[in-house]
Amino acid sequence: MEFTKEHLDTYHRDGYVVVRNFFTQEEVDLLYKIAIKDDVMRKKSYDRTDASGLKTKLALWYSLDESLYSKFARSERIVRGVEQILGGKAAHYHSKLMQKEPKTGGAWEWHQDYGYWYKNNGFLLPDMLSVLTALTPATKENGCLQMIRGSHKMGRVEHGFAGEQVGADMEKVNEALKIMPLDYLEMAAGDTAFFHCNTLHASAANLSDKPRWSIITAYNLSSNKPYKDVHTSSYTPIEPFKGDLLAEDAVSITDNADFLVK
């Protein structure tokens, strides 16, 4: 699947673009099947508590190995789209498996990814983006992603803490919501959203009886080397995976994938 001029124009105008059926149902079914049975992923997952006390579970890792997760992150269709957006060679910063379980999955407060990456990780330029692929359907009822359309044009907003999460200055968020549209990104499994690191986004708690699982991979322009972060993956150009995800051995992730430990 190729990014079109319309995809790129939408991304740069709105701060995000959703590409429907970017991965097939069979591809995301395989990844989800592995994820829910993955002992390493379960062991490495941790909770993030929102401002109301509800918890969302996630696992975050930096290194690319031979697992299906890594081949997914390196898949040619994602890397090609990322490099079209960034205008140069892409590097893999990190991947996250988001696990928002029924009835208990917490909210994610309003934030920009770059609000954290700039302050804590030392990336001087916002030449970064995230790519979210829904592994299960995402709806308003189970806490789908919300975007403030066009908010990437505001630049970086100051961030503090909301619960255990980093959150954006709510004065700025509330003013943005007065003049910019709020979009709910309802997605079928396999739909993929590409969004700018300065786009304000959030998600509500999952109070439905359906899980909302997704995989989010963050990418950086390889020339945008951070001065604080120690992970070489963040500035090492990606070698795209050109194979068939369904034809590959469904290898689970390894203990040495450089997981974030909480």
The DSSP bridge partners found for residue 187 are 138
**Do residues 98 and 151 make contact, with C-beta atoms less than 8 angstroms apart?**
no
Residue 104 lies in a domain: yes
Residue 261, domain member (yes or no): no
Residue 110: name the closest of 152, 159, 68, 37 by CA. 159
Let me know if residue 249 belongs to a domain: no
Total domain count, the chain? 1
Residue 163 pLDDT: 59
Residue 254 is assigned to a structural domain of this protein: no
Domain span at residue 151? 5-241
What would you report as the CA-atom Rg of the chain, rounded to the nearest whole angstrom? 17
Q: Which two tokens stand for residue 181?
A: 């549209």
Q: CB–CB of 233/92 below 8 Å?
A: yes
We report the CATH number of the domain holding residue 237 as 2.60.120.620
Q: Is residue 260 part of a domain?
A: no
Q: What is the residue-level pLDDT of the chain in tens, covering all 262 positions? A: 678 999 999 999 999 999 999 999 999 999 999 999 999 999 999 988 777 778 888 999 999 988 999 999 999 999 999 999 999 999 999 999 999 999 888 888 899 999 989 988 999 999 999 999 999 999 999 999 999 999 999 999 998 866 566 789 999 999 999 999 999 999 999 999 999 999 999 999 998 999 999 999 999 999 999 999 889 999 999 999 999 999 867 788 988 899 998 7
pLDDT value of residue 252? 86
Residue 253 lies in a domain: no
Looking from the CA of 166 toward its CB, the CA atoms found within 13 Å total 14
Going by the DSSP 8-state scheme, the letter that residue 51 receives in this structure is T
- Establish if 251 belongs to a structural domain: no
d(CA 141, CA 65): 35
In a domain, residue 33? The reply is yes
- Polymer length in residues for the chain: 262
Taking the alpha carbons at both ends of the chain, their separation in whole angstroms is 37
